[in-house]
Amino acid sequence: MTATAELATFGAGCFWGVEAAFRKLDGVIDTSVGYMGGHFENPCYLDVLSRITGHAEVCQVQFNPAEISYDALLDTFWRIHDPTSLNRQGGDRGEQYRSVIFYHTPEQGKAARQAKAKLQDSGRYPKPIVTPIEPASAYWLASEEHQRYFG
């Protein structure tokens, strides 16, 4: 990671589509997919799929804040999934598919909470937004065949 780069980590369902959406943005330096938020050391895909680890499938985004703001990343996050759906996105079900924001700095946490409140107050969704906002924890990189799955 370069001196100007920052990290952002989002869970919004299956990590393949999430990574593809973030990778397209100007100012995003790199993306990877993996697991965060669980209680199991070094999980593999089958561990997470079995729902024994507590992890979410996440996309970790390395970005240049001089080119794209964290707020712009949040806007993309809210746009690409249904944040009112608990532990489910489309046909994917289970806590590994939960909507979640893992923040890396207090400023990111504050920005995420403000964005969530603003979205909830907007009336865009008739149901409450269930997305938790949590401090980033250990990030476990998914295997190579899961990286850049959609090209």
Q: What is the set of active-site residues? A: 14
- Residue 78: C-alpha distances to residues 48, 102, 113 (Å): 24, 14, 12
CA 20 to chain centre: 12
Phi, psi of 85, rounded to the nearest 5 degrees = -95, 115
The residue type at 85: S
Residues 6+ apart with CB under 8 A from 118: none
Check residue 30 and report its DSSP letter: E
- Residue 69: C-alpha distances to residues 17, 41, 57, 72, 75 (Å): 21, 32, 23, 5, 10
